[in-house]
């Protein structure tokens, strides 16, 4: 017996919810938009929505529209959080893998697709950058900018930083060529070759690359996928080792997405003061929070100048903007000298274009929309994992940022999986590159930075097929 049109539409929407393409809590197209997309009448669309609402798939909200209901989480498919890490308690020199270079060459550090899909450009940002370039006079073209960076940009960035607490001013900031450059300068200012640097475990592979190039020893500290680095483990390490710096990402760290409670930040700050080591705070993901207020920085609690706050707009706005900053506390003059030695200065027009974008409200507007989008994409990823990877051991539950940390069965080697996935056009980031030790070989970092288009969902399903065949 042929089905009514509203039954057919309801089946299509139900399939989109099951596949993760329509994420839990995400908004459905309005009735008008759905009519235009499907060429169906208003009464047919309303009947389909009412049918799905009766079945518990969607819910209507007065004067707002229709939304996908939160998925019920049963004991059989609940994604538990990964256990606190337990790295070796001794320092290591680092030898990094060729895999990192390969991932960066393919431009797939935050995507499953090797041949990345085109994304919509931020027209407002592009107009501001073009406007700044057109205004540049001949004198600016012939001279470097001041080493500390454009004053108007520093003043506006200081206001943005102070949303995370504290009283940062334009004079406290040095503009850099991205957050990685900020971390480089911070490590050079606070440590010498052979010095011991404590880090989270697992930790950002870019930080491990810097430590390897600079010849620093690394001490990995146990960390939770929920609350980040363990203050008690760090305190214990301070009793046995002469730590010169702690490199830490308190807010939505990669690869776990963990977020450190304020009491832990205060404990770590007290340890730094008592043991006279610097804290290098990587704050690059903090603006991508899913709550009402961004997390406070360790820097905002510091009154001693021992915290160096590093960040950029590459994760929150555009990765093409190699524009970062560092609030260096007691190390500001040293950072300025190191910046001159490593990059001389930063492009004037780029700084002025970004400053104009912030002044016109572009950054706040972009971040508001981006946070909503990322939360929906995280929900879709978790739904896809529950659907296609029921045997997943654990997955972190980030409340911000771009990634989650997926634990698979110990029999699965994700480095081997990385090479297998390449053959079917899928890019993954194996867990082993997030440690200086032989650890996390059965983990993957998976990003929800991009919309779950049909191609990305298909890529995830190809990856799931490879994992299921390996288990």
Percent of the chain at pLDDT > 90 equals 65
**Are 84 and 256 contacting, i.e. CB atoms less than 8 angstroms apart?**
no
**Which pLDDT value is given to residue 209?**
93
Question: What mean pLDDT value characterizes the chain?
Answer: 89
**Which pLDDT value is given to residue 117?**
59
Determine the Cα angle at 200 with ends 264 and 301, to 5°: 35
Cβ partners under 8 Å of residue 114, min gap 6: 106, 108, 422, 425, 426, 427
For residue 143, count other CB atoms closer than 10 A to its CB.
Answer: 10
DSSP, res 307: E
CA distance 38 to 31: 10
CA distance 352 to 340: 20
User: Is residue 252 packed enough to be buried (19+ CB in 10 Å), middle (13-18) or exposed (0-12)?
Assistant: buried
What is the spatial order of strands in the sheet that 394-395 belongs to?
394-395, 403-407, 443-447, 429-430
**Which pLDDT value is given to residue 136?**
77
pTM of the model as a whole: 0.84
Structure tokens of 465?
A: 């097929």
Phi, psi (5° rounding) for residue 35? -60, -45
**Are 335 and 189 contacting, i.e. CB atoms less than 8 angstroms apart?**
yes
**Are 278 and 246 contacting, i.e. CB atoms less than 8 angstroms apart?**
yes
Each residue's pLDDT tens digit, 136-184: 765 555 566 788 999 999 999 999 999 988 899 999 999 999 999 999 9
Would you place residue 74 in the very low, low, confident or very high pLDDT band (cuts 50, 70, 90)? Answer: very low
**Which pLDDT value is given to residue 76?**
47
Each residue's pLDDT tens digit, 27-72: 889 999 999 988 999 999 999 998 898 888 888 888 788 988 876 5
Give the residue with greater pLDDT, 77 vs 84: 84
CA distance 351 to 366: 18
User: Is residue 134 packed enough to be buried (19+ CB in 10 Å), middle (13-18) or exposed (0-12)?
Assistant: exposed
Domains of the chain and CATH, by start: 5-68 (1.10.10.10), 122-362 (3.40.640.10), 365-470 (3.90.1150.10)
**Which pLDDT value is given to residue 27?**
87
SS3 317: coil
**Which pLDDT value is given to residue 75?**
41
Percent of the chain at pLDDT > 70 equals 92
Distances (CA, A) of 103 to 49, 76, 428: 43, 34, 8
Each residue's pLDDT tens digit, 231-267: 999 999 999 999 999 999 999 999 999 999 999 999 9
- Within 13 Å of residue 471, how many CA atoms lie on the same side as its CB? 15
* Mean pLDDT computed over 280-305: 95
**Which pLDDT value is given to residue 441?**
95
For residue 163, count other CB atoms closer than 10 A to its CB.
Answer: 15
Structure tokens of 397?
A: 């539950």
């Amino acid at each position: 017996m042929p089905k009514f049109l509203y039954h057919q539409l309801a089946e299509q929407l139900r399939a989109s919810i099951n596949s993760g393409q329509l994420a839990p809590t995400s908004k459905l197209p309005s009735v008008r938009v759905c009519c235009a997309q499907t060429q169906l009448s208003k009464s047919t669309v309303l009947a389909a929505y009412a049918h799905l609402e009766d079945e518990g798939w969607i819910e209507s909200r007065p004067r707002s529209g229709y939304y996908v209901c939160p998925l019920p989480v049963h004991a059989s498919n609940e994604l538990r959080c990964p256990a606190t890490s337990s790295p070796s308690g001794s320092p290591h020199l680092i030898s990094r893998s060729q895999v990192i270079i390969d991932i960066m060459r393919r431009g797939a550090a935050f995507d499953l697709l090797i041949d990345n899909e085109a994304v919509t450009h931020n027209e407002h940002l592009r107009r501001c950058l073009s406007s700044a370039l057109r205004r540049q006079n001949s004198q600016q073209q012939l001279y470097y900018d001041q080493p500390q960076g454009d004053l108007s940009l520093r003043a506006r960035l200081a206001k943005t930083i102070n949303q995370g607490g504290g009283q940062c001013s334009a004079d406290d900031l040095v503009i850099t060529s991205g957050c990685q450059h900020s971390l480089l300068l911070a490590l050079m200012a606070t440590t010498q070759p052979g010095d011991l640097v404590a880090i989270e475990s697992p930790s950002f592979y870019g930080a491990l690359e810097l430590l390897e190039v600079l010849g620093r020893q690394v001490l990995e500290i146990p960390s939770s996928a929920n609350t980040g680095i363990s203050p008690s483990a760090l305190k214990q390490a301070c009793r046995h080792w002469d730590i010169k710096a702690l490199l830490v990402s308190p807010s939505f760290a990669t690869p776990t997405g963990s977020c450190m409670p304020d009491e832990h930040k205060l404990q770590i700050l007290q340890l730094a003061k008592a043991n006279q080591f610097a804290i290098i705070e990587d704050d690059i993901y903090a603006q991508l929070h899913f709550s009402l207020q961004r997390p406070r920085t360790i820097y905002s609690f510091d009154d001693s100048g021992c915290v160096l706050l590093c960040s950029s707009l590459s994760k929150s706005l555009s990765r093409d903007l190699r524009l970062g900053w560092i609030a260096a506390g007691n190390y500001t003059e040293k950072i300025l000298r190191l910046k001159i030695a490593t990059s001389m200065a930063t492009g004037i027009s780029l700084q002025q274009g970004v400053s104009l974008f912030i002044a016109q409200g572009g950054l706040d507007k972009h971040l508001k929309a981006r946070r909503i989008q990322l939360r929906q994409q995280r929900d879709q990823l978790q739904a896809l994992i529950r659907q296609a990877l029921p045997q997943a051991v654990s997955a972190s539950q980030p409340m911000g940022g771009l990634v989650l940390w997926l634990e698979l069965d110990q029999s699965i080697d994700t480095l081997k999986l990385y090479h297998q996935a390449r053959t079917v056009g899928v890019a993954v980031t194996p867990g082993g590159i997030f440690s200086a030790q032989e650890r996390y070989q059965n983990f993957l970092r998976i990003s929800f930075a991009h919309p779950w288009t049909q191609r990305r969902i298909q890529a995830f399903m190809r990856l799931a097929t490879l994992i299921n065949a390996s288990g």
